[in-house]
Amino acid sequence: MENKIHFGIRRLVLLNTESFSLGDFPLDRPLSISATNNVGKSTAINALQFPFLCNRRDMVFPKDDKETLKYYFPYENSYVLSEILTDTGMYVLGAAGRGQLAGYEYQLFAFKKNFTLSDFLVDDQEGENKKSVRTLKELERHLGLKDIWVKKLRPKQMQDALIGKEITLNGNEKFSIGLFRLKSLTDKNYRLFMSIFKNLLHMNNFNMEEVKMFLINALLPSWETVSGDFMTEYKDYNLSFEQERNKIRVAENISDEVEALAALKAEWDEIYQFLSTAYQNIEHRYQKERDQKKADIKTLTSEFGELENKIRKIEEENSRLGEESRILFKKKEDLNDWKKNLEKQAIQFKLFPSMEECRKQLLSLEKQRDQITIELGRSSVDSVKRLEQKIQASEKQINKLKSQLAHNKSNLLFLIKDHFNESDIQILMKLINNQIFTSFEVNGGDLNVHDEKALVNGLKTILSHCENGFYNDGRVLINLAGLDSVNLDDYFNYEQILDNLDHALEDLHQLKSNLHIALNYQQREKERDAIDKKAKSQERELDQYGIFLENKKKESVFEQDYTHAVAAYDEIQDKIKNK
């Protein structure tokens, strides 16, 4: 038997909702769901409204809006998903929970791929062979590594994409799904389609007249005027037929007048033939006289053209000589100016050293200027007051690192590391000032532990209030992700602490150097500007000196050009005088 491709909704999946840890319903073939009351049959079917009706105003649920959202999306990793097949490929559509802090709202999304449960699951770090559900953000990263891109959609965007419209995402990216390809995309037809889809889902308010009109208007857009009133259509057709019959009757009534007009036209054609013959004879005589006059005009025009050519040649020769004279005069004057300028430059650069020596002087000035600029760049970022504050903070950090180094094996952190794992210590150091754990020697006077067991139990009590990334003891709720993480190597690893101390001492040295520069900033700026001005002046003189040396090499050639230009100019002037 031939396998057919069935486009449409192929699968419904509920993942990590209040009633379903995983509910997977195949919809590409007839499906029957049977179970006792209140186990989630209607709940599963109603979930189809989230991806396909898009707008919550179109949805109907037995409970109020808040309870419904909490029921389907209790967590950030709760999903209602559907796998669909269209003529453009396989897609996964869905709604993803945004969690308690977002009021149990959800985010619509879609991506082009068949549904695979493993895409939504990740190994749970707290237990062997256990899986946890990815959040939407984690799903985006996971699929992005496979070059599959999740499209986050607003309700209107999802609606347009489902009915085959092409929507624009992220600037110029185009996206469409086309599950319900309505050929007549009017708002009225879409609302009618949504009503039928919703009523079919709940098996109520099923109106056959609405279905009939939807099929006519949505699937056959060229028949938008189709009506069920066939008597009206017959009446219109009969009226059109009677109008054509009346036209024939009118034609029969005017037939005699038409024959009389035909006879008059025959007489007019005979008269026209006579007049045409007479006109041809007159036209022939006129053409003969016109041709003679044309020949006379052509002879006169030829003689006049010859005279014009002679005059034009004389004017062109005069113009050419005048233009050559202007060009040669300008060339002669330019060469004379060049000679004077070269003599002036020879006096100016008489005492100049060699080009190589000039370049060395310029390079030395540029090096001085660049060195001062680098120094000013390091100090211009911060003011003197700001640098002094940084130095104080750096010295405080150095004292802290020295204290850690001294108490590395005797502080509170070293005492509790045998009772807690690394992640627990991370949480404790986020919630409690980490200096208490690292900066004092236990029982050294500043920090004394009278009952180690009670201390450990107290810290465990604090940890017992931490769950799912939050600290919550019923009085205070703290998002642990918002607190800075701690690198335990900075406190346990002696070599790491020593390395951190070395870096801090280097930073302090650099800050003090920058402070010294900042205190003398204005004076150094003046020095830099003076050097820069002198360097630019020398650079301009060096360019002029180079041009002078090049021109000096060409002096004999320019002298010859000047002599030839003077001779040619005098020759042209003689020709103009003799014209």
Q: What is the pLDDT of residues 32-60, one digit of tens each?
A: 877 777 777 888 888 988 998 888 888 88
Q: Is residue 529 part of a domain?
A: no
Q: Sheet of 466-467: strands edge to edge?
A: 466-467, 470-472, 477-479
Tell me, yes or no, whether 398 lies in a domain: yes
According to the model, what pLDDT value does residue 489 have? 63
Nearest to 539 by CA among 359, 372, 368, 341: 359
Asked whether residue 358 is assigned to any structural domain, the reply reads no
Question: pTM for the full model?
Answer: 0.39
- Final residue belonging to a domain, choices 519, 542, 571: 519
Tens-digit pLDDT profile for residues 205-229: 555 665 555 555 545 544 444 444 4
Overall number of domains in the chain: 2
Please give the residue that has the higher pLDDT: either 155 or 333: 155
Distance CA 202, CA 46 (A): 8
Q: What integer pLDDT is reported at residue 147 of this predicted model?
A: 92
- Is the pLDDT at 458 greater than 60, yes or no? yes
Instruction: Specify the residue for token string 């496979």.
Output: 146
What's the CATH code of the domain at 125?
3.40.1140.10
- Residue 1: the pLDDT is 41
Within a domain: residue 148?
Answer: yes
Reported confidence tier of residue 293, pLDDT bands at 50, 70, 90: confident
Residue 195 lies in a domain: no
71 pLDDT more than 90:
yes
pLDDT classification of 231: cutoffs 50, 70, 90: very low
Q: Which residues span the domain enclosing 478? A: 381-519
Number of H helices, E strands in the chain: 19, 13
Each residue of 306-349: pLDDT tens digit? 888 888 887 787 787 778 778 878 877 887 787 777 777 777 66
Within a domain: residue 99?
yes
Q: Residue 226 falls within a domain, yes or no? A: no
Average pLDDT over residues 132-152: 93
Q: Provide the pLDDT for residue 227.
A: 41
Residue 365 has pLDDT above 50, yes or no: yes
73 pLDDT tier (thresholds 50, 70, 90):
very high
Report the candidate in 21, 17, 20, 132 with the shortest Cα–Cα distance to residue 68. 17
Domain end residue (candidates: 137, 159, 181): 181
Q: Residue 472 falls within a domain, yes or no?
A: yes
Instruction: Tell which of 162, 181, 200 closes a domain.
Output: 181
Lowest mean pLDDT among 88-102, 207-221, 430-444: 207-221
pLDDT the model gives residue 26? 92
Nearest Cα to Cα of residue 78 among 23, 115, 31, 29: 23
Nearest to 49 by CA among 89, 10, 94: 94
